[in-house]
Amino acid sequence: MDEARRTVLRSAGATGVLAAALAAGLLKPERAIAASWNKAGFDAKSAVDALKSIGAGDTKESGDIVIEAPQIAENGAVVPIEITSKVPGTTALAVLIEKNPFPLTGQFRFMDGALPFVKVNVKMGESSIVRVVAEAGGKYYTATKEVKVTIGGCGG
Amino acid sequence: MTKRSLRRGAVTTAALIAVAAAPAFAQDEKKEIQKYQQMIAEGSPAELWELSGEELWTKKQGPKNASLEGCDLGLGAGKVKGAYAHLPRYFKDTGRVMDLEARLLYCMETLQGRSDKDARARLFGNANKPSEMEFLVAYIVGQSRGVPMAAGASHPKEKEAFEMGKALFFYRAGPWDFSCASCHGEEGKRIRMQDLPVLSEPPGARKAYTTWPAYRVSNSQLKTMQWRLNDCYRQMRFPEPTFGSDATIALTHYMAVLAKGAPYAGPGTKR
Amino acid sequence: MAGPMKARAKMQGNYADVRVLMSHPMETGQRKGGDGKPVPKHFIQNLTVKLNGKTVIEGEISQAVSRNPVFSFRIGGAKPGDKIEISWLDNKGESNKTETAVA
C-alpha cells in the first residue's frame, strides 16, 4: 500500500493520475491538493480510525517524541501542547486527544528545513491521553502524555 | 445575569466550604498548575486586543468627531508610554483620584463629546459583543510593559484613596459577611485547585497587580481590573459596584501602591 | 471580516522561533448561543507558513484547537531579515494572513 502510494505521488502531475489515485484512497489529501482537509480523519470518532486516515495504522512507541504539556490544565478550553520530534527525518506530526469526541486535532507537514516542532493550544473535554504520531521515512512513531483537566475555582 | 449567578453561586458555595476544611494539596500538583500558567502565558491573545486598542485610540468618534489621542492619562495629553504604571493618580481637572478606566470614560465624554450613557453602553464585553474599553485598556497597559509600578502616593487625595481602599479591603458585608480579605487576606487559602494570592501584602499585590488586565481563558476575552473587582463583588454577593466609582478606584489604588516598584508585565493570560 | 493577526519571528541558534496569534472563534458547533440554538461550526482548517515565499509548513487543524489560536513553529535555515508569512483558511472560506521579518 505504501509503495503504491509513493509511486503515485512521484508521478503525480497528470490530473487523471491524481483523480484515480484519490478515488482509490491511495493519496493523503493534504499532499495532493493545497487547501484540502482530511475530513475522514477529523470526523473520525476514534483515535484508531483517525490514524488509519493518515496512513498511520501501524505505529511504534518512541522516546524520541517529546510532548511538553502540563499534567494539570486549569481550564480545558486552552491546553498548551508543545511537540518536538527527535526521530531523524520526521516530515509530519499529528496530534490526537483520545477522549475528545473527534480525537484528531491537527496534522502538520514540515518541508525545506522547517523543524518537526509545533506548539498549539487545544480544547480538551475531559482528562485524556494526548497522543502524537510522527512520520519519518514512511514509518510512524508515537508517544503519549496524560493531561488532567480540572474544574477550576478562580485563577484570577 | 440571574441564572448565571445562581449557577455560579451553588458551585462557589461548595468550593468555599472546601476552602475552610481542605488540607494543603501536593507540591507536585502546584508545580504542574504553575507549568500550565507559564505555558499559556507564552504568547497571549491579549496582544491582539492591544492591536485593536491602538486602532481605537486613533479613531475619530462621537459628536465631536475626535480621537482619544489628546487624552491626558497623567503624563500629559497624548502621552501613553508608561502612563498606566503611574495610575491611579490624582487629576486636577476632575479633582479626584482616577484609574485608567475612569480616565478613559472621562476622555470619551470630554474629548469625543460622547454621553455618559453612550460611553458606558458596553463596558464589559463578550465574544459576540466586545467592549471598546477592553481594547483600549489592553493597548494602554501594553505601553507600560517593563515600567515599575508607581501609583500616585503624595497628594492628600491619593493618600486618602489608599486608606479607603485598605478599609474597603477588610470591610465585611453582604449576605455572606465576606470582605476581600476573606479570600485574599491570609496565606494558604484556595478555591478548589487555585491558590488565592494575599493581596494586602506587597508580594501578593505585586504578582497580581502586574498581571492584570489579562486575557481570561474562561471568557475568551481580555478582562480589566474594573471587571475583576466587579466580578469579585458578584461572587461575594455584594451589590454591583458602579464602574469607575470612588470605591473601585480606591481598591485598585490600594493594590497599586502595595505593588510599588514591581515592573509591569503587560497584559497576562489567566484561567 | 477576519479579526487581527500578529506574528513574531526571532532567531534562536540556527532556527527562527515563530509565534503567531490569530483571532478566530473556532466554534465547534456544540456551543449553544444566546438563543439556545447551537452556534454553527466556524473554525480554521488550513494553516500555511512560508519562508521567503516558499511553503515550509502546511497544517490542517480541527475545531478542537482553542479559540483565538496561538501557534509556535521553528523554521530551520532562516536568517535575520527573512520574510515569514502565515496564512489561514477556515471552513467558511474566510482567510487571513500576516507577515513578519525574522529578527
Cα A57 to the chain's mean position, in Å?
12
Q: Is A70 on the interface with B (CB under 8 A)?
A: yes
Residue closest to A153 by CA, chosen among C28, B41, B129, B25: B25
CB contact under 8 A, A102 and C64: yes
| 8 Å CB contact between B91 and B74 | yes
pLDDT in tens, B187-198: 999 888 788 999
Q: Give the per-residue pLDDT at A60.
A: 95
Is the same domain home to A6 and A57?
no
pLDDT in tens, A89-142: 999 999 999 999 999 999 999 999 999 999 999 999 999 999 999 999 999 999
Q: What is the DSSP letter of A94?
A: E
On the question of pLDDT at B17 being above 50, the answer is no
Does a structural domain hold residue A41? no
Is the same domain home to A27 and A70?
no
Interface test with C, best of A68, A108, A135 (most C CBs within 10 A): A108
Does a structural domain hold residue A105? yes
Q: How many domains are there within chain A?
A: 2
- Beta strand C44-51 with C54-61 is antiparallel
Its pTM stands at: 0.83
Which among B44, B48, B127 is the nearest to C4, CB-wise?
A: B48
Interface test with B, best of C5, C18, C21 (most B CBs within 10 A): C21
The span from the first CA to the last CA of chain A, in angstroms, equals 53
Coil/strand/helix, residue B119: helix
State the residue for C-alpha cell 491573545: B45
pLDDT in tens, C22-33: 999 999 998 888
Cα distance between residue C40 and residue A95, in whole Å: 24
Domain ranges of chain B: 2-270
pLDDT band for C46, please (50, 70, 90 cuts): very high
Beta-sheet strands, E only, within C13-82: 15-22, 44-51, 54-61, 70-76
Residue of C nearest to A120 (CA): C71
Q: Give the helix ranges, DSSP H, for chain B.
A: 2-21, 27-41, 46-58, 100-110, 116-119, 132-142, 156-169, 180-184, 202-209, 225-235, 246-258
Q: Give the per-residue pLDDT at A153.
A: 67
Domain boundaries, position C80: 5-101
pLDDT in tens, A41-72: 999 999 999 999 999 989 999 999 999 999 99
Cα distance between residue A98 and residue A129, in whole Å: 6
pLDDT band for B162, please (50, 70, 90 cuts): very high
The span from the first CA to the last CA of chain B, in angstroms, equals 21
pLDDT band for A1, please (50, 70, 90 cuts): very low
H or E segment to which residue A42 belongs: helix A39-43
A partners (3+ CB pairs within 8 A) are: B, C
pLDDT band for B30, please (50, 70, 90 cuts): confident
Is the same domain home to A118 and A138?
yes
Q: How many domains are there within chain C?
A: 1
| 8 Å CB contact between B128 and C34 | yes
Establish, for the pair of chains A and B, how many residue pairs have beta carbons separated by less than 8 Å.
70
Domain boundaries, position A53: 46-149
- Assigned C-alpha cell, B28: 507536585
- Half-sphere exposure (CA, 13 Å, Cβ side) for A20? 10
Is the same domain home to A82 and A123?
yes
Is the same domain home to A67 and A128?
yes
Superfamily grouping for domain B2-270: Cytochrome c-like domain (1.10.760.10)
Does a structural domain hold residue A127? yes
CB contact under 8 A, A78 and B194: no
Q: What is the DSSP letter of A127?
A: S
Which among A70, A77, A153 is the nearest to B217, CB-wise?
A: A77
Q: Give the per-residue pLDDT at A20.
A: 53
Active site residues of B: 232
Is the same domain home to A126 and A50?
yes
Which among C26, C64, C73 is the nearest to A100, CB-wise?
A: C64
Is the same domain home to A144 and A75?
yes
In angstroms, the separation between the Cα of residue A85 and the nearest Cα of chain B is: 19
A119: domain CATH number is 2.60.40.2470
